[in-house]
Chains A and B, each alone.
Chain A
Amino acid sequence: MDSGNGQLNKRRRLGGREQVSAYLFVLPAVLGVLIFYFVPLLVSFFGSFTNWGGLEGVFDASFVGFKNYAGILKDPYFGQAVLNTLFTMIGIPIGITLSLLLALLLNRGLKGTNVFRVVYYVPVVCGIVAITLMWQNFLAPNGPFNKLLEKMGIAGMDWLAHRVWAKVAIVVMCVWKGLGYSTLLYIAGLQGVPRTYYEAAKLDGAGGMQLFFKITVPLVRPVTFFLFVTGIITGAQLFTEAQLILPAASRNQNYVKTVVLYLYEQFGYGYVGYASAVAWLLAVVVFAATGLQFALEGRKKD
């Protein structure tokens, strides 16, 4: 039993009816997380050590030990998928930097700030499928982006057919789409910075750059950290953008294949045990990132 209840007991005995009602109220959520989260998580863990094909039950599959994991780590396509996924994560620091600068501009108390906030937030609420299809056509060889470059005297190219530029396109799209969200969090973070800090620093003769790096950056660090960790967690699971950015004719090129796309492909081939092992490698990364977040947040509170 946990310690909180002991104190409560002293104040008033736990009412029978209150407890029964409470259990009834939390029952759906508890059943929900068990059926739709924890049991599947354990099943995929178990399945990752078998040659599960998906058609039979996981317990009918035969145990293969670490064979799936060894196979994954030896597969050059998996290595490529990991590198592709890591490549797209360069958008995290870019997005963080841009949104902090944007938040500083939006925190000057200018007229129309609210309008800008809404405008920058529009891409955040837009569905990723529509956005990716738009971006795909926007960057097409005869699309508007190349026309724009042409007008500026720059020769365009088939960006999405290029192994590096296609990934850059995903990065740009993700930064563009997520900017409004991180800016919003930074604005909230900046509003929590006491004004007196700046005033005192300015009296001491600190310049704008010093104020920025010595006061602003350290004081919004919790937001930066939050954005960084959530960026890694969602970035590691990148799927839709990478699946849909290329035109249908050249879909599933290895140069944009992410870890989850690789996982889905293996699932499609019927290698469900193998795909479960991929899923668990991914899960370990996500757990580590979340654990890091909890650990550092806990340390901050001590």
Chain B
Amino acid sequence: MERKIGLKTPIFKTRGGNRGKRAGDAAAYAILVIGSVVMLIPLLWMLGASLQPSFAHLLVSPFYPSGQWRFANYADIFTNAYISLPKAFGLSVLVAVPAVVAGSYVSGLTAFAFGKLRFKFKRTIFLLLLGVLMIPYPAIMLPLYKLYANFGWIGTPLPLIVPKIFGNVAMVFFLRQYLANVNDSIIDSAKIDGCGYFRIFNSMILPLIVPALAAQVILWFMGVWNDYLPAYMYDVQTLPIVVAKYNSDVAMQNEIPKVMAASVVSLIPVLIVFVVFQRWIIESVVLSGVKE
């Protein structure tokens, strides 16, 4: 354990030399594997529990489905009267895809203005936007409830869609930094050709920032997909809301396998997105988290 420090190719041999390094590596592997098991066991248990034929089976064999695996649990929850899963799924997609894509495009446009265009009060306006990042959601959700109630939006998906279309400040901040690496000369030459700024953005900037933008879209999508408090507050029946409600509605009926199946369904889209884009996701999380 004395060599915890990450030297990929040690130049100086430490006490114990190569044998020490190998023993250290073996210990590191052992800890990492045990840790991975701890990380995955609850999730695998959830998957297993979702396939249990009944609650009684779950009690007898709590760790994995005994005998027949009941995939019909998944069919059940999609037709069940207690939970309108197809509708909630559709609503979650509506809130997490078109709204996020539209809001990301607007964020890109905003970032372009802050990163590449010159205008009065640029710094002041930018600081105003950044101020949003320190406002805790509970401090604004009560007046927002009142606002949406006045519009007649409570119970509709609009409170989760409309604010996103105005853009995402964290994304503007990130994309503006990304744009700093884009050479101004492209924009200048386009200007000489008489292109409008909107066209410059669409035809030249957007293609350049697509990798960064796409990663941000994915991160935002995953956050929105999992979001609970705003949906709960404004009574929007998205997936997390109906799954939580299903859990309390059937609490007395020992339907845990089906509750777990509904939970798994709510996780599948983000897990697929994560598995497909994991490299991008991990890179942009690091970039967005540690801002130097």
Task: Indicate whether A133 sits within 8 Å of B243 (C-beta atoms), given known contacts A4-B122, A29-B129.
Answer: yes
**Are the C-beta atoms of A121 and B163 separated by less than 8 Å?**
no
Among A129-160, those with CB < 8 Å from B are: 129-131, 133-138, 142-144, 147
**Are the C-beta atoms of A14 and B118 separated by less than 8 Å?**
yes
Task: Indicate whether A144 sits within 8 Å of B45 (C-beta atoms), given known contacts A19-B119, A40-B143, A137-B260.
Answer: yes
A89 to chain B, nearest CB (A): 15
Which residue from chain A places its CB closest to the CB of B266 in the assembled complex? A130
Task: Indicate whether A276 sits within 8 Å of B142 (C-beta atoms), given known contacts A126-B267, A130-B264, A185-B286.
Answer: yes
Which residue from chain B places its CB closest to the CB of A173 in the assembled complex? B42
Which residue from chain B places its CB closest to the CB of A190 in the assembled complex? B6
- Cβ–Cβ < 8 Å partners of A142 in chain B: 59, 62
**Are the C-beta atoms of A122 and B163 separated by less than 8 Å?**
no
Interface status of A166 (Cβ within 8 A of chain B) = no
Main secondary structure of the interface of A (DSSP, over half): helix
Interface status of A107 (Cβ within 8 A of chain B) = yes
**Are the C-beta atoms of B267 and A130 separated by less than 8 Å?**
yes
B217 to chain A, nearest CB (A): 15
Partner of A30, one of B120, B128, B266, B274: B128
CA A47 – CA B6 in complex, angstroms? 54
Interface status of A295 (Cβ within 8 A of chain B) = no
CA A181 – CA B290 in complex, angstroms? 12
Which residue from chain B places its CB closest to the CB of A287 in the assembled complex? B134
A-binding segment of B65-73, B74-82, B109-117, B208-216: B109-117
**Are the C-beta atoms of A44 and B140 separated by less than 8 Å?**
yes
CA A139 – CA B222 in complex, angstroms? 27
B203 to chain A, nearest CB (A): 14
Could you say which of A17, A57, A118 has the most chain B C-beta atoms within 10 Å of its C-beta?
Answer: A118
CA A240 – CA B114 in complex, angstroms? 36
Among B98-146, those with CB < 8 Å from A are: 106-107, 109-110, 112-114, 117-125, 128-129, 131-146
Partner of A208, one of B5, B62, B129, B274: B5
A131 to chain B, nearest CB (A): 8
**Are the C-beta atoms of B120 and A1 separated by less than 8 Å?**
yes
Could you say which of B24, B31, B124, B139 has the most chain A C-beta atoms within 10 Å of its C-beta?
Answer: B139
CA A209 – CA B3 in complex, angstroms? 9
Interface status of A223 (Cβ within 8 A of chain B) = yes
- Cβ–Cβ < 8 Å partners of A22 in chain B: 113, 117-119, 122, 197
**Are the C-beta atoms of A240 and B166 separated by less than 8 Å?**
no
Among A109-127, those with CB < 8 Å from B are: 109-110, 116-123, 125-127
Interface status of B28 (Cβ within 8 A of chain A) = yes
Which residue from chain B places its CB closest to the CB of A203 in the assembled complex? B12
- Cβ–Cβ < 8 Å partners of B252 in chain A: 249
Query: A-facing mask of B262-275, CB < 8 A → 1, else 0?
Result: 01101100110110
B64 to chain A, nearest CB (A): 10
Among B22-70, those with CB < 8 Å from A are: 24-25, 28-29, 31-32, 35-36, 38-40, 42-43, 45-46, 49, 59, 62-63
Interface status of A8 (Cβ within 8 A of chain B) = yes
Among B234-260, those with CB < 8 Å from A are: 239-241, 243-244, 247-249, 251-252, 256, 259-260
**Are the C-beta atoms of B6 and A107 separated by less than 8 Å?**
yes
**Are the C-beta atoms of B140 and A2 separated by less than 8 Å?**
no
Interface status of A161 (Cβ within 8 A of chain B) = no
**Are the C-beta atoms of B43 and A123 separated by less than 8 Å?**
yes
- Cβ–Cβ < 8 Å partners of B282 in chain A: 117-118, 121, 184
**Are the C-beta atoms of A223 and B290 separated by less than 8 Å?**
yes
CA A180 – CA B278 in complex, angstroms? 13
Question: Looking at chain B, what size class is its interface with the partner chain?
Answer: 35 or more
**Are the C-beta atoms of A25 and B266 separated by less than 8 Å?**
no
**Are the C-beta atoms of A240 and B136 separated by less than 8 Å?**
no
CA A155 – CA B114 in complex, angstroms? 61
**Are the C-beta atoms of B139 and A116 separated by less than 8 Å?**
no
- Cβ–Cβ < 8 Å partners of A117 in chain B: 282
**Are the C-beta atoms of B119 and A14 separated by less than 8 Å?**
yes
Apart from A57-B146, A107-B6, 13 more pairs, CB < 8 Å: A1-B121, A18-B197, A26-B113, A40-B144, A119-B36, A121-B281, A126-B271, A127-B270, A135-B42, A144-B62, A239-B228, A248-B247, A276-B142
- The 17 sampled A-B contact pairs (Cβ below 8 Å) are A21-B197, A22-B122, A28-B109, A33-B132, A36-B140, A44-B143, A106-B32, A108-B6, A110-B29, A118-B282, A119-B39, A134-B45, A134-B46, A134-B263, A137-B259, A212-B5, A279-B141
Point out residues on B near A: beta carbons under 8 Å. Answer: 1-9, 11-12, 14, 24-25, 28-29, 31-32, 35-36, 38-40, 42-43, 45-46, 49, 59, 62-63, 106-107, 109-110, 112-114, 117-125, 128-129, 131-147, 163, 165-167, 169, 172, 196-198, 201, 222, 225-226, 228-229, 233, 239-241, 243-244, 247-249, 251-252, 256, 259-260, 263-264, 266-267, 270-271, 273-274, 278, 281-282, 285-286, 289-290
Point out residues on A near B: beta carbons under 8 Å. Answer: 1-2, 4-5, 8, 14-15, 17-19, 21-23, 25-26, 28-33, 35-41, 43-44, 47, 54, 57-58, 101-102, 104-110, 116-123, 125-131, 133-138, 142-144, 147, 176, 179-181, 184-185, 187-191, 195, 198-199, 202-203, 207-209, 211-212, 215-216, 222-223, 226, 233, 236-237, 239-240, 244, 247-249, 251, 260, 263-264, 267, 272, 275-276, 279-280, 282-283, 286-287, 290
